[in-house]
Amino acid sequence: MHLFLSICTFLNILTAIPTTDVEMENDENLESVIIEVEGNPQEHKAYLETYYPYIEVIAVYEKLFNGLALKAAPEKLEKISELDFVKTINTAKTYEATTDLPSNLTEANPNTVMPGDLNTTNYTGKGVKVGVVDTGIDYNHPDLSKNFIRGYDLVDLDDDPMETTPEQGMPTLHGTHVAGIIAGNGELTGVAPDADIYAYRALGPGGMGSSVQVIAAMEKAVADGVDVINLSLGNTVNGPDYPTSVAVNRAADLGVSVVIANGNDGPDNWTVGAPATATKAIGVGAAENAEQVPFLYEGRADKKIALYPMQGAIPWQLDRSYPIVDMSETKENPRGKIALIERSDIPFYDMAKAAEEEGAVAVAIYNNEKGMFQGMVENEDDPINIPVVALTKQDGTWLLKEMEKHALNLETTYQESDAGIANFSSRGPVAVNWHIKPDILAPGTNIKSTVPDGYQELQGTSMAAPHITGVVALIKEAHPNWSNEQIFGAIKTTATQYKDENDVPIAPNIQGMGMVQPGEAIAAKTIIEQPELAFGKMDDYLDTKKVNMTIENTTNKRQTYVFHVPKKQQGMSWKLPQTFTLKKNESKTIPIELSITTSLLDDGIHQGWLTLEGEDEAFQLPYLFVNKTADNPKAMGFDFALKPFSDNQYAYQLYVTDPTKHVEVDLYDPESLIYQRTLLEADDLTVGMNEGELKQAEIGEPGSYTALITVYLEDGTFESYETPVYIE
């Protein structure tokens, strides 16, 4: 399954063992693949070298998954698909360039956030090795060149982790931006400016890559001895056992700290995706600073529409109301109006330029899929001189429906936003194990950092995660002997809880422990290693669950702690050790027990906060449980594609979160939504990832379709969701 990385929003560790650095002749005619294998990969390496000498084994992976990296002529690689031990094949794809790299951001922006401002300590991350698994980095950038040590390209399987250039396909900049937030060391200062950067290009043209490439990159990072890995990438599978999440947990077991972006599919619950669902990593949500935010306002419906400015466009500062017209289908004249356009394969710049040339005063491009996105319309040679913004699909379709009823005039209003959680930041909990995510918040909006040939502002949890990676580097410098559990525990224990305008704490599945405080984490007198209390699903009439929490006194004096007795709630009762004492430098495991009467509580998520009082500070501990059932998606992550080196065999994947009896995938015409045919049916699916294959003769005519995936659960209910499918 592919991981798609949006460079404007969102965008462990396996050990790669190099076998040779010999350059092969006519390298430009060779293709690189990473295969997953059954059994011992070292034995398979020896087999290939003996019986397939024309295939070069570049690397062996055996810590986080079993696999081999291979290079050969495409017609030679086709032969390996017939081998019994080959489980999956991942090809390194290339794409045609469709946009230009952005130039320097020169406009003054009062809302700009500089990553170095988070570090108020005297530590700089000196001597700490940071692995950036991403789109590669521009290691020639003057703010990164001093810190860059080395890296590896898991797309082309070579030692050059440079970002994708226009000559190679759709260019990228995401990894460079992430690296600057962590360890920029020049005109722009990162959170940990003296940390060493190790870069791994796992995502190729357009910021796209596969799970196998990401896992292989993590393994290579582990082999290189990195201390912390940043993963500002992910997918939409809200489950704890997706392969990348499993690999992250294995990396953590090897002592590497792994920091992961929570995702940009908020504000709905259950939107955190793998690998941020990994239990042993720290998942990061995006906080936003207070700022003046423009909105579109439609008075008749009293409707506010959020605007997400495109990079390279002038600020949205319309001084009166303007009519809005749809340029996607109706091709109405936009002169003197706001042009509404649906996102498509056409570059954002081309869309906006066409509207500007026809006289539009502004352009609003709405998403063609769920969630927020951010785009760029930079062009130094022919810049766009009108505002260009992104809208959600929900807002775009609302405008279209209203425009069918009557002409619309939209006013621009401004609102002072409070510091809080960014609307796009993905929410938890995690399905199946019901854990709280995110774990922590960090700055994620208007973050200025390095990009190839300059600097740029981006936003997303992709920008929040490297702030935490930088903080981990600071803590590792200050406390080189601390374990992952101590480092993450210190970060969580000392976080600042966010509250709403009514002074009520924001829900745990939105903020985790709250906003990171680097100085306080380094100086933590108390570390709670499991401060997020996940009690799972409660099914019995009278159900009791216990969570063990480890608490450490890091000082040289005794400390006494007291739990506040929670306010009594019908159907819930707590068993807490009200008072306990820890000797100097002592750790103790504390049991926390929750009992509920399921019939007295509503079905679904229940969450809140417990207060633990120390001698001179209080700790807010989030808890969460699910009563009987929840509104989590029951199926997700459907992927359907032609198998590599095959012209008649297709592979599919589907992740289910609840016991499922039957699944059916029906195809519809994407325009008329007329039923076409049933693509597949399957019975007795397992909770987690389900995989299978279909032959060309079984799937029917090629083309683009809307697939309706319906899962029939064992409890007698069913659930459906739609996703686009393309059959080659």
Q: Is 462 a catalytic residue?
A: yes
Phi-psi region for residue 60, left (φ > 0), alpha (ψ -120 to 50) or beta? beta
What secondary structure does DSSP assign to 642-678, as a single string?
EPTT-SSEEEEEEEESS-EEEEEEEEE-TTT--EEEE
Report d(CA 18, CA 59) in Å as an integer: 5
Q: Which of 103, 134, 241, 543 is catalytic?
A: 134
Burial class (CB in 10 A: 0-12, 13-18, 19+), 482: middle
Pairing of strands 420-421, 282-288: antiparallel
Amino acid occupying residue 463: M
User: Sign (positive/negative) of CA torsion 70, 76, 82, 83?
Assistant: negative
CA distance from start to end of the chain:
16
Token pair 């239990």 is found at 279
Report d(CA 437, CA 676) in Å as an integer: 39
**237 token code pair:** 């599978």
Q: Which residues contact 656 (CB under 8 A, 6 or more apart)?
A: 634, 635, 663, 685, 686, 687, 688, 690, 711
Nearest to 429 by CA among 656, 590, 622, 690: 622
Token pair 């579109």 is found at 296
Phi-psi region for residue 645, left (φ > 0), alpha (ψ -120 to 50) or beta? left
- Ranges of H-type helices in 198-347: 211-223, 243-253
Nearest to 133 by CA among 179, 66, 78: 179
DSSP annotation of 203 reads S
Q: How far is CA 251 from CA 14, 65, 218, 247, in A?
A: 7, 11, 8, 6
**416 token code pair:** 């002072």
Q: Which of 32, 210, 426, 462 is catalytic?
A: 462
Q: Is 662 a catalytic residue?
A: no
- Assign 706 to helix, strand or coil: strand
Residues forming a β-bridge with 534: 624
Q: Which residues contact 215 (CB under 8 A, 6 or more apart)?
A: 12, 14, 61, 64, 65, 67, 243, 244, 247
**160 token code pair:** 């050059």
Residues forming a β-bridge with 341: 365
Burial class (CB in 10 A: 0-12, 13-18, 19+), 234: buried
User: Sign (positive/negative) of CA torsion 50, 51, 55, 59?
Assistant: negative
Report d(CA 408, CA 297) in Å as an integer: 10
Burial class (CB in 10 A: 0-12, 13-18, 19+), 639: middle
Work out the angle between the directed axes of helices 243-253 and 211-223 (0-180°, nearest 10): 10
Report d(CA 540, CA 537) in Å as an integer: 10
Q: Which of 103, 141, 156, 174 is catalytic?
A: 174
Report d(CA 204, CA 135) in Å as an integer: 6
Amino acid occupying residue 111: N
Q: Annotated active-site positions, please?
A: 134, 174, 462
